Amino acid sequence: MNWNGIDLRSLSGDLIELRRHLHAHPELSFQEENTSAFICRQLDTWGVEYTKGWAGHGIVATINAMIPSYDFIALRADMDALPIEEKNDVPYKSHNPGVMHACGHDVHVTCLLGAIRLIQANVSRLRANVKFIFQPGEEQLPGGAFRMMEEGAFEVEKCREIYALHVFPSMETGKIGMRSGPYMASSDEIYITIKGQGGHGGMPHQTIDPIMIAGHLIIGIQAVVSRRSDPTIPCVLTLGKIYSEGGATNVIPSVVRLEGTFRTMDEKWRFEAHNLIHRYCQSLAEAHGASAEVNIIQGYPVLINDEELVTKATEAVSQVVGADHVEHLPIRMTSEDFAWYTQKIRGCFFRLGTSNKERGITSGVHTATFDVDEDSIIIGAQALAAICLK
């Protein structure tokens, strides 16, 4: 693709330097003060207009087309890091103990900055205004996307399309993944408290054993998925944590707590399931003489990719990587707060291949050894810019 004289090799080197700075200085969700300031300095240097302070440290930059445009296209990158101690032995290793860009958000920001540079150099080809959303807090409920829209960071009704990419260590550098329709699951947090009556482990008839009840619940609650949901709708219910207040080898505690997640690809079934989970837990506890408190915290909705936008984006990114390097993605039961945008705006969320087996870059996201093949960054920047220019 012709970038109007832009030296891609030089730009790639500049972007790698930016990414390494971001990687070395990660900040947790809604604490991205220095990250935001760093981005603002780049935008100031390049003469790009922006507003800031959205959802804490969010930024919305704008490049206007040379022809009048009522509406606009949006590109989004998330900025926050994870509470993970990095184990990579690299010059750009995290300087902040216990905090790491283990989900590639440093790459997302860098790709978006690269897209700005490419679009600036090709603004005469732009047929719509573009807003660049640098978003905080993707990793923490309710999500920076929700808060930025709630605060009016940009005019949702004028945003006709929104796009974002995400690193994908399961795909090698040079490839891009696309999928239309529902792509990523909703995610809700489940907190269950079973209250019984504690006592001596040798005299269980004098107690109401919440651990025994929890055992029944752990198995039985899966019937909500296996027997109450439409089997054609992807659905996962996982209890990932159980602990008691008190208790010992010879002591039955009075309280047991369980925590888990519920995920599905259908919004209607999602809220039906919430009611079923409440009813099941409370009825089971009551049947054993105990009580159950159920708290379901609503997380991110289903992420839905617009079919037309995926087709357009596929055509655009094919000019960057070649049509034979654009792959069809399977659905994922992980979740993303970009889904908040797709509930109100036609959107396309796609994947950027970042692995390189020859260089040993294969670790998955959310691990202490995650890293990317930095050759992928210039590809991501071009992909985002190409979508806007098309």
Catalytic residue annotation: 300, 374
In terms of Cα–Cα distance, which of 188, 146, 152 is closest to 337?
A: 146
Alpha carbon separation from 215 to 211, 218, 220, 294, 300 (Å, rounded)? 6, 5, 9, 16, 29
Q: In sequence order, which residues have a C-beta less than 8 Å from that of residue 358 and are 6 or more positions away?
A: none
In terms of Cα–Cα distance, which of 85, 89, 88 is closest to 99?
A: 85
CA torsion 322-352-86-23 (nearest 10°) is 90
Q: Is the peptide bond before 26 cis (omega within 30 degrees of 0)?
A: no
106 and 370 Cβ atoms separated by less than 8 Å? no
- Number of Cβ within a 10 Å radius of residue 17: 13
List the structure tokens of 9.
Answer: 């090799």
98 and 85 Cβ atoms separated by less than 8 Å? yes
Q: Determine the length of the chain.
A: 390
207-231 burial by CB neighbour count: b if 16+ within 10 A, else e? bbbbbbbbeebeeebeebbeeebee
